[in-house]
Every structure is written in C-alpha cells, then in structure tokens.
A and B are shown apart, each in its own frame.
Chain A
Amino acid sequence: MTTQTEVSTGAQPPEPEVEKQRTWRDYFTFNTDHKVIGIQYLVTSFIFYLIGGALAGVMRTELATPNPNFVQPEFYNRLFTMHGTIMIFLWIIPAGAGFANYLIPLMIGAKDMAFPRLNAVAFWIIPIGGLLLLGSFFVGAPQAGWTSYPPLSLLTGKAGEELWILSVLLLGTSSILGAINFVTTIWKMRVPSMGWNDMPLLCWSMLATSGLILIGTPVLAAAMILLSFDLIVGTTFFNPTGGGDPIVYQHMFWFYSHPAVYIMILPFFGIISEVLPVHARKPIFAYRAIAYSNLAISFLGLLVWAHHMFTSGTPGWLRMFFMATTMLIAVPTGIKVFSWCATLWGGKISLNSSMLFGMGFISAFLIGGLSGVMVASVPFDIHVHDTYFIVAHLHYVLFGGSVLGLFAGIYHWFPKMTGHMLNETWGRIHFALTFIGLNLTFLPMHELGLLGMNRRIALYDAEFQLLNLVCTAGSYLLAVSTIPFLVNAIWSWIRGRQASGNPWKALTLEWQTSSPPAIENFDEEPVLWSGPYDYGIDVLSADSEESVEELLSEVQADVR
C-alpha cells in the first residue's frame, strides 16, 4: 500500500499519534474527528430508520383491512406523523450528512472539517432532538402529520405538538450547523491542486444541498416559532378563529419543505455519481453537466414550493407559475439520469452489492421522477393531491432514490470506514429483498390514489383492500430485508475480510489512505495524480497490466 510508507515528506513532523487507533469508546464521546462523527451520524440515523420502519410496519398492518381493528384511528395518525418526521429529519437528512462528514475531508485531502467542534455539536443535537421526539409518545404524540397544518395541529394536543416543534427546531439547527461546515470545508480546504472542476461530484452535491439548507431552514424555523406561539400563548398567526391565515403557514412550511426534498436527494445523487464510475470502470459521463445541474436544481428548487398547494387557497396564476417551474426542474434531473445511464453504457460493470443498489437507485428514482412530472401538471395534480398516488411518488423518490443510494454508498465505503469487506452474497440478497419489497409496497399505491383512495386514513373503502394487501405484503418484505443487512454489517465489522486501502481501485482521494484512514486522514499530503473519474487510462497504455495502485505509487514516487 502506497500510503502506508513511513517516509516522511518533511511537511509533517513524525508524531507518535499516527500509531493511535480509534477504539469503540470514541464513538460514544464528544469527538471532533469527522470520521468518528460521520459514523456516529450513520449509525444513529440507521437506528431511527429501524424505529421509523417499525412504525410503518404497524401502519401497514392496520391497513391490511379496511376497518380500524389493529390500532385506534387517533393512534394511527400519531404513527404516520412520527413515521414521516423520523424518516425525514432523523434518517435521510442525517444519513446524508453522515456520508458528507465522513467523505468530504478525505475526498478533498483535508485533515478534518473546517469547524470540528461545531461539527460535533451538530451531531449531538440529533440524538437529543430524536429522543425529544420519541418522548412525545409519553405525552400523546403529535397527530397532525409531518406537515402539521394549522388549525388541526393547534387542536390535537399541546404537549406532543410542542415537543414536535422543539424537535424540528433542534434538528433544523443541527442541519444549518452542518451546512456551514460543509460549505467552508469544500471552499477553503481542498488540496491546493484541486480546482473546482476536479472535485468529486459529492462535493458539488453537498454545496448545492448546503445552500438549500441555509436558505430554507430559517424560514421553517420561523414557521415553527409562530406555530408555537399560536399553540402555547394563543396568538392567531395561523388560527382563523382570530383572523389568522393557515395558508401563510403552508407557504412558509413548503418554502423549506420542498427544498428539503432536494436536501434529501442531492447528497445521494452525489453518492451515485461516485459509485457508478468505480464499479463500471468508466469515467462519469458529462462531469460538468452533472456538477452544474446540482446548482440548477438547487436554484429552481427554491421556486417550486407551492406545487404542494395546488388545491389549497392559491389563486390560478400562482398555480400556473409553480407548474411551469416544477416542470422545468425535471430537465436538470433528467440530465443526471441520462448521464448515469451513459456512464454504465459500454463499461465493465461489476454487479456487486454497491452497483446493484446504484442501478436500483436509477430504476426506482426514475419512476419517482416520472410521476413527479405528472403531479407538476395542475389539472392532474388536483385529482391526485393528498392521495396514495402522492404517497407512491414520494416513496419512490425518497426510498427508491435516497435510501437505495444510501445503501449503495454503504456497500461502497464500508471497507474504507471499517477496514473490513462486507459479505457480497448477503449484500445481493439484501438488494433483491429491498428492491422487490419496494416495488411491491409502493407501485400499487399509484393505482389506489388514481382510483380514489386518500392518504392519512386508518379506514378505507372495502374496494381498495386487495391492492392494500399487496402493499402490506411488500412492506413486510422490506422489514425482512433489513435483517441480512444488519447481520452482514455487524458480522463484517467484527470478523469481515480485511480491506486494503483501495479495494475497488478507485481514483478519488479517500482511497489513497489506509482503511480505515489514519486519525489525521493522510500520513502525508495526498497527491492529486488524476481527475476523480479518469478510468480507462490503463486501456490506452497498450495492454499494460499496470493496476491503478501501481500507477498511483509510481506517480507518488515521481513527486517525491
């Protein structure tokens, strides 16, 4: 391994701390190492994924039959409120931040994030916010949906609703702190030779994501604080009985929460752009188009929020304006999907777990994207708004997109993070179960919505039962699918085959150090010897059997 050479370049005085190893205790402390924090994020959010998934399991069990016989309707409303909030604020957003935390300093050749202490604070807010939210089950969990529209949210129990607000405020704060850190780190801490267009695409994704977080989250916070006043003090910002306007809340809420969709998907766009070229052994197709389309999505993403309000108190011209912007956002998203396909086309694809999840991501996200264009059309959206069609759409984007992308990332970087390889067979079984379960659960929901089944109901017409049974069966399959993953991850972490520094022969900088990386990431300043995706160079060098690693050591020797 090139990076394990003990030769000091002189820039860094040899310190004994290179020998220091992370112990499991470090992961339970206020640690400022971005790699520890990244793993803390990922593990914590995965625990919340299991909790959120369990809630979904209870909901699907209830929905197996038309009548409310498993849980009370009131409790059902608490379940979907908590399910949505947990999956968004405690699973997908923090998991994205976890990857970014772990990978960005490594990818740009930095020792840590720009503000390590702030970074640790941002992480530790998450378990606090999460426990606060879960604690609301003891005082009557919120039951007005994750959107928490007033006046309903003002009438369904003060304690639970206020805990929900506080939790969202805390998690929003964490997300803002993280965003400040990502922007500064990417901007200022790249190795000197890395220009903007040499950055791995995950960096571009995180720049776009952070921009959205910094612009959107304060507006959500404002909405939460005003809602809090209405709830506790009895002001009437949003309460019509005092002349307040519930529609204003919806505007404020969606001004954040539409961009939140991109906050949840952009990091995984980045991850997919990293995973596909490595396992297809081909350069990413159209680097600049993918990089800049992040910025286009980010910008347009700030101008589409009212598409969630096409049937609300919105005038016709406004509906038309937001239809046009929403339609347009399909273009940069489409560019990405086409480019990913072109990356695979003609490559030498290893169908390993990471790649399977990567291709599954494109396949499922495509469905979410296509239904997304459909619901952008105002006349059609008026029909399907607040129905199971929307439930299907959002899960194809957030499960089919974000979560499959997340697993692609885990299978890809697990060796780097833990120093152990995951078991491939169990990884493929995990993929098969997840992919089949996902489609079984969410595909029939499109039809349910079109036929007339509204969302957020514990009881429904008997005519919808058959399709609902299919969805419930699919959700059980999804529940089962986490078992092979959990067993595989835990087993491999402890006993898995040792991973080399660069088991995938990848070109981005995080693979130039050992697995797991040294505490200060690189024993010596890493060398940017190629672009992040310059695969196929060895083909040009006339049948030479030189591996990437050898090339790499050669270049490093040259530099020395």
Chain B
Amino acid sequence: MRKTVNTSSRITILLTGIAATLFSLWYGQNNGLLPVAASEDASQVDGIFSLMMTVATGLFLLIQGALLFSAIKFRRRKGDETDGPPIAGNVPLEIAWTAIPTVMVLLISVYSFDVYNTMGGLDREASQDPGPQKVSYRSGQHPGSELLAFDPGQKYLALGVGASPQQKEEPEEPLPVEVNGIQYAWIFTYPDTGVVSGELHLPVGRQIDLKITAGDVLHAFWLPEFRLKQDAVPGRETQLRFEPNRVGEYSVVCAELCGAYHGVMKTTLHVQTPEEYEHWSQEQQIAQADKLENSVAATPNSRSASEFLAPYAERMGVESQTLEQLKASPTASASN
C-alpha cells in the first residue's frame, strides 16, 4: 500500500489548518452580514450567529478544502487502472467526527437556550399555550378583551417572547401596544392614550410590550433590526417584549404569506427619544380628538385596510390598481 500523505504535505496541511482556524475566528466576528442591532436582545442573537458562523466557516473550509485537495491530489493518473487502498474505515476517526460535532451542537444549543431565556422566551406568561379562542369580532374591529386568555392566577397569557428574568425585576411598567395585522397593513393601538396609528412609534430605552393579533389570515410581525418575529394568528394572541436601545427608523415587515399583496405589508418603526415620542403621542391625540368631533359615529378602529394603506401606498410604490384590488380584498369575507 502506498502512503497517501508524506511528511512535508503533513506540515502543509497543519499550517493550512491553523490559517483556516484563524480565518474562521476572524470571519465569525467580522462577517458584516447582519443589519444593525437596535436592542440588547438583538446583539445577543448576533452573538449566536457569530459563534455559528465561526464553526460553519471552519467546517466549510475543512470539507471544501478536502474535496478540492482530493480532486487534485488523488486524481487517477492516465493509464492507471488499479484501485486505491482498501481502507474501509477508521474507528478513532469515526468516533472523533461523531463526538466533536455532538459537543459542538450541544454547545450551540446551550448558548441558544441561554440567549432565548435572556430574551424572555421562557417567561412563563409568554411560553404557555392558552389555546385558540373563537374569533367573534367583525371585520375591521379591533379584537377586544374577549380574546385575552388568563391563567388561574388571573395573569395574562400570550405566546411569543415575554419579559426577560431581569426585566421582570424592574419596577417600570412596559409600554403596551396592541398590534393588529390585516390584509395588508399593520394597525397599532396605544391603549394608554387611545392613539391609533399605521406606523409604530416607540420611545428609546423603555420596555415595550406588543400584543399581536390578526384580523383575517396569518401574518408575522417581523422587526429585522431587533431580530424578533412572531406570527399573528387570528383567534390567538401572541406577544413580543423588547427594549429598543438605538434611535432610528426601522422596517416592520409581514413575514407570513397573507395574500397577493403580502409584499406591501410593511411599515416603519420610529424609535425616538422619550421627548420626541411624547410630542408625537400628544399630536396624535389632538388630531384624533378633532376627528372624533367632526364625525360622530366614526371610531378610529373602524377604518378598513385600504383606508389605512392609502397614505402609505404612494410612498411604497403601489399602483392605484393595487389599491383597487385591495378594496375588493377578502378582508371582509375572512371574518364574516
């Protein structure tokens, strides 16, 4: 049997291995693939990504390197009709490539578990399933408290990402916002002030508690810069709790297929300084009060999807035809 690898190539392989390891460690940290992180939770998730990217880069280089090396070095020479060496296994090697990946995925699992717990994913109030509730509201109406599920201790239950163990200690109450997903818009209601808006405004440095529902079909509330996503399920409230730590404008995206215009179901999240946020909130309250005086019967909640979309449609590049279709969209039929 011929030796497949001699000493000098052993050294080359060793050096390449070290270089690949160093590169993996560097690339895991500096890949720049993710958008900005606008909360502490998001940075935590990015930490997992860094670790996984390091491991993945290492394995990528190892396997692709081995393939490329084999394709060049172990190519059959012209006229050589003999077989390779009859090596059918190597127990220590097999144990190594079973054990090392097992340890690695366990490590990633534990790390992920820890981060998920820190994010509040295992908050008892957010991680128990209250089961489905019958949808009894009519189209366009925001679901009321009949949808809320309570545990025996009269504590509010909704699936999703809840308060982190650390947040639970804090005395400050989170800012509640009700999120309703309908084809094809998000409607945000601030129960403290009664403000209803098509864009989400939040103060920086304060805990936010989003209660998410859907009015017709499944949607998913996604904040890419916060690495948070939660499906909006008709008949089942879900929640997301987080704390923005960076002022700026971020996108709010619907990530669950919800119909033909799923792609336009987007809006903006404005994370503002507390003063700016207060200012905006005041303005909205005054504007809505004026409106209420002008139209006796209208409540902000009864606006339909197309009405909500109209102001944003132009900015989003939606053609008028799209809006026409929206008006005839099955929103109404969904809950009738």
Contacts and interface: CB of A to CB of B under 8 A. Distances in A.
A77 B183 CA distance: 15
Nearest to A386: B255
Interface stretch (A369-377, A428-436, A484-492): A369-377
Given A316-B121, A334-B101, A447-B33, A377 B159 contact: no
Interface stretch (B81-89, B191-199, B281-289, B298-306): B81-89
A303 interface: no
B154 to A, nearest CB: 19
A395 interface: no
Contacts of A311: 220, 229-231, 255
A362 B83 contact: no
B109 A539 contact: no
B76 A241 contact: no
Interface stretch (B171-179, B203-211, B260-268): B260-268
B105 A385 contact: no
Given A283-B87, A287-B89, A379-B44, A345 B4 contact: yes
Most buried by B among A240, A247, A335, A533: A240
A400 B90 CA distance: 28
Interface stretch (B14-22, B91-99, B270-278): B91-99
A329 to B, nearest CB: 9
Given A313-B233, A379-B121, A386-B220, A374 B56 contact: yes
B229 A383 contact: yes
B52 A380 contact: yes
Contact of A345 (B70, B97, B336): B70
B40 interface: no
Interface string B292-334: 0000000000000000000000000100001001000010011
Contacts of B255: 311, 385-387, 454-455
Interface string A59-88: 000000011100011101100000000000
Contacts of B230: 311, 382
Interface in B228-263: 228-231, 233-236, 238, 251, 253-263
A244 interface: yes
Contacts of A159: none
A330 B109 CA distance: 12
A114 interface: no
A539 B97 contact: no
A245 to B, nearest CB: 4
A335 B94 CA distance: 8
B148 interface: no
B88 A328 contact: no
A319 to B, nearest CB: 7
Contact of A77 (B48, B49, B94, B257): B257
A68 to B, nearest CB: 8
B132 A331 contact: no
Interface string A334-365: 11011101101111111100000001001100
Interface stretch (A27-35, A116-124, A205-213, A456-464): A456-464
Interface in B57-89: 59-60, 63-64, 66-67, 70-71, 74-77, 80-89
- At the interface, is chain B mostly helix, strand, loop or mixed? mixed
B108 interface: yes
Contacts of A473: none
B63 A152 contact: no
B224 A383 contact: yes
A452 B84 contact: no
A33 B233 CA distance: 50
Given A246-B234, A315-B127, A457-B263, A346 B35 contact: no
B85 A374 contact: no
A349 B74 contact: yes
A535 interface: yes
B82 A539 contact: yes
Most buried by B among A72, A245, A246, A287: A246
A320 B70 CA distance: 39
The bracket for how many chain A residues form the interface is: 35 or more
Given A144-B257, A338-B97, A536-B84, A451 B224 contact: yes
Interface residues of B, number: 103
B67 A344 contact: yes
B254 A454 contact: yes
B11 interface: no
Contacts of B108: 327, 373, 377
Contacts of B48: 377, 379-380
A534 B86 contact: yes
A366 B84 contact: no
Contacts of B335: 241
B60 A367 contact: yes
A374 B49 contact: yes
B234 A152 contact: no
Nearest to A148: B257
B116 A246 contact: no
Interface in A389-407: none
A313 B76 contact: no
A455 B76 CA distance: 44
Contact of B260 (A77, A240, A247): A77
Contacts of A527: none
Given A152-B259, A457-B262, A536-B85, A334 B253 contact: no
Interface of B: 1, 4-5, 33-35, 44-45, 48-49, 52, 55-56, 59-60, 63-64, 66-67, 70-71, 74-77, 80-90, 93-94, 97-98, 101-102, 105-106, 108-109, 112-113, 115-116, 119, 121-123, 126-129, 131-132, 134-135, 159, 161, 216-218, 220, 222, 224-225, 227-231, 233-236, 238, 251, 253-264, 266, 317, 322, 325, 330, 333-336
18 contacts: A149-B257, A152-B257, A244-B132, A313-B129, A313-B238, A317-B127, A335-B98, A347-B74, A348-B76, A359-B70, A370-B56, A379-B119, A379-B227, A382-B228, A383-B227, A386-B257, A457-B263, A547-B81
The list of the 8 closest CB pairs from A to B, nearest first, reads: A316-B127, A536-B86, A457-B263, A240-B235, A452-B224, A346-B4, A282-B84, A347-B84
Given A450-B33, A454-B253, 8 more contacts: A143-B260, A152-B218, A242-B134, A386-B256, A452-B225, A456-B262, A535-B83, A539-B83
